[in-house]
């Protein structure tokens, strides 16, 4: 009986250590990706459904991405979509100065889209919003 109690104590201590470790990893990942997460959310919320003269989101793009598509054509692509109200990321990956985020974005009308955003040194280098929610 004494051996069983000791074994139970060791198992409980081990589980507590694992639990604390998982919490610490989660907190560290949240802390180190907070700035990039904010940039990704701001981009998704501001690019879709915005008027063509509102280019706040365009400043968040990496210069290489800006060269691929003209600012006006970029705005035209998203002009027919609803504005997203909430963005939540269920998957976060950090490697050096880059971060990747996958999740969902929802409009006020409860239309949902899958979103993926990659950020490198504070600038958007890739994104995918699928499907866009039409107005």
For the chain, 135 residues long, the average pLDDT of each consecutive 10-residue run is: 80 93 83 82 81 68 85 79 90 88 94 95 92 88
Query: Which residue ranges make up each domain of the chain?
Result: 35-130
- Give the pLDDT of residue 128: 93
Place of tokens 């990704």: 40
- Give the pLDDT of residue 129: 92
Question: By CB neighbour count within 10 A (0-12 exposed, 13-18 middle, 19+ buried), where does 29 fall?
Answer: middle
Cα 44–chain centre separation: 9
CATH topology of domain 35-130: Nuclear Transport Factor 2; Chain: A, (3.10.450)
- Give the pLDDT of residue 57: 80
**pTM reported for the whole predicted model:** 0.74
d(CA 11, CA 27): 24
- Give the pLDDT of residue 75: 75
- Give the pLDDT of residue 6: 83
Which of 106, 123, 125 is closest to 114 using CA atoms? 106
């Amino acid at each position: 009986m004494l051996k069983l109690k000791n074994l139970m104590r060791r198992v409980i201590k081990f589980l507590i250590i694992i639990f604390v470790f998982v919490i610490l990893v989660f907190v560290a990942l949240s802390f180190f990706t907070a700035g990039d997460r904010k940039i990704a959310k701001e981009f998704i919320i501001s690019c879709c459904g915005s008027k063509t003269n509102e280019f706040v989101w365009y400043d968040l793009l990496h210069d290489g991405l800006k060269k691929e598509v003209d600012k006006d054509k970029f705005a035209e692509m998203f002009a027919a979509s609803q504005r997203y109200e909430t963005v939540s990321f269920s998957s976060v990956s950090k490697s050096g100065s880059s971060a990747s985020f996958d999740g969902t974005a929802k409009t006020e009308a409860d239309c949902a889209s899958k979103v993926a955003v990659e950020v490198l040194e504070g600038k958007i280098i890739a994104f995918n919003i699928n499907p866009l929610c039409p107005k």
